[in-house]
Amino acid sequence: MDEAPDSQQPVIRVRALANRFGDQVVHEDLDLDVRRGEILGVVGGSGSGKSVLMRSIIGLRTPDAGEIEVLGVDARSGDPAVRLHIERNSGVLFQDGALFSSLTVGENVQVPLKEHHSELPDSLRYELALLKVKLAGLAADAIDKLPSQLSGGMRKRAGLARALALDPPLLFLDEPTAGLDPIGAAAFDHLIRTLQQALGLTVFLITHDLDTLYAICDRVAVLADRKVIAVAPVAELEKLDHPWVQEYFNGPRGRAAHASRDELRTGG
């Protein structure tokens, strides 16, 4: 069988994944490929296991069954070198930013640098942190502020700066625009797309925000019935004959997001 072009080779490959919590089955026989250089949106109803899937991929949860490959290595391997390889090449932004409240923004961003590049002098780590803070769209003076001194949107950007600290090719975002007003959410979407294009990132993006899906996602994976039932561009998913998909994409909010996208494209 001919190999797919490099751009189509999955950087994340999940096969027959199972996740259970006691008698509750969250995932069963779940398959998913994430292509290099794409922004993949991940959607699903409450309890469909979007965050559980992400945590399984990045190694924060041990699945009950299945295979996971990340950047060509077995993510379920017990080899510390494999775990370190994935950690160094993955940046994660959790829902609330997950910043250390007692550390400044700059100190938060330097945490991965200290862990993986302890040989760097403090002055260089500070300069690298400042670069990431600016890259995430924050003013330079934010580097010396505590998380409590920042707005919700600024904390998300600070969390993004930390996720980018090691220049990872893989970026995981869990509900990055949750809690933001429409203007702030649109600005964050634009930032993600800009960074993805400039840095060549592959982005795994969990969201319930339809505007985000229409604005920046190349493909969308739909979690339902304990597995990924479809992976396709939004325009194709809108036609999928599945009750949850139809309600989600073709309900009032879906139609509004669709209209907003069309308006932007036509300059209306």
Question: For residues 91 and 172, is the Cβ–Cβ distance under 8 A?
Answer: yes
DSSP reduced 3-state for 80 = helix
| φ, ψ at 28 (rounded to 5°) | -145, 120
- Residue where one domain finishes, among candidates 122, 141, 167: 167
| φ, ψ at 41 (rounded to 5°) | -85, 145
Residues 159 and 212 reside in one and the same domain: no
* Residue 114, pLDDT score: 94
Quote the distance between the C-alpha of residue 211 and its chain's center: 16
Residues 161 and 215 reside in one and the same domain: no
Residues 157 and 206 reside in one and the same domain: no
Residue 77 included in any domain:
yes
Type of residue at 20:
R
Residue identified by tokens 């339902």 is: 224
Quote the distance between the C-alpha of residue 110 and its chain's center: 20
Residues 64 and 122 reside in one and the same domain: no
Residues 82 and 183 reside in one and the same domain: yes
Residues 163 and 175 reside in one and the same domain: no
- The CATH number assigned to the domain holding 26 equals 3.40.50.300
Given strand 73-74, what is the order of strands in its sheet? 24-35, 10-21, 65-70, 73-74
* Residue 4, pLDDT score: 41
Domain that holds residue 45: 1-89+171-234
Kindly state the DSSP code that residue 150 receives in the 8-state scheme. S
Q: What is the largest CA-CA distance in the chain?
A: 57
Quote the distance between the C-alpha of residue 44 and its chain's center: 15
Residue 245 included in any domain:
no
Residues 82 and 44 reside in one and the same domain: yes
Query: What is the number of structural domains in the chain?
Result: 2
* Residue 268, pLDDT score: 53
Residue identified by tokens 């994976």 is: 221
* Residue 260, pLDDT score: 57
* Residue 1, pLDDT score: 34
Q: Closest Cα partner for 171 from 157, 160, 184, 158?
A: 160
pLDDT tens for the chain, residues 1 to 268 = 334 445 567 999 999 999 999 999 999 999 999 999 999 999 999 889 999 999 999 999 999 999 999 999 999 988 899 999 999 999 999 987 789 999 999 999 999 999 999 999 999 999 999 999 999 999 999 999 999 999 989 999 999 999 999 999 999 999 999 999 999 999 999 999 999 999 999 999 999 999 999 999 999 999 999 999 999 999 999 999 999 999 998 876 655 655 555 554 555 5
Radius of gyration for the alpha carbons in the chain, expressed in angstroms and rounded: 19
Residues 67 and 184 reside in one and the same domain: yes
Distance CA 23, CA 44 (A): 21
Residues 5 and 28 reside in one and the same domain: yes
Residue 80 included in any domain:
yes
* Residue 38, pLDDT score: 97
Residues 142 and 178 reside in one and the same domain: no
Residues 63 and 39 reside in one and the same domain: yes
Residues 85 and 175 reside in one and the same domain: yes
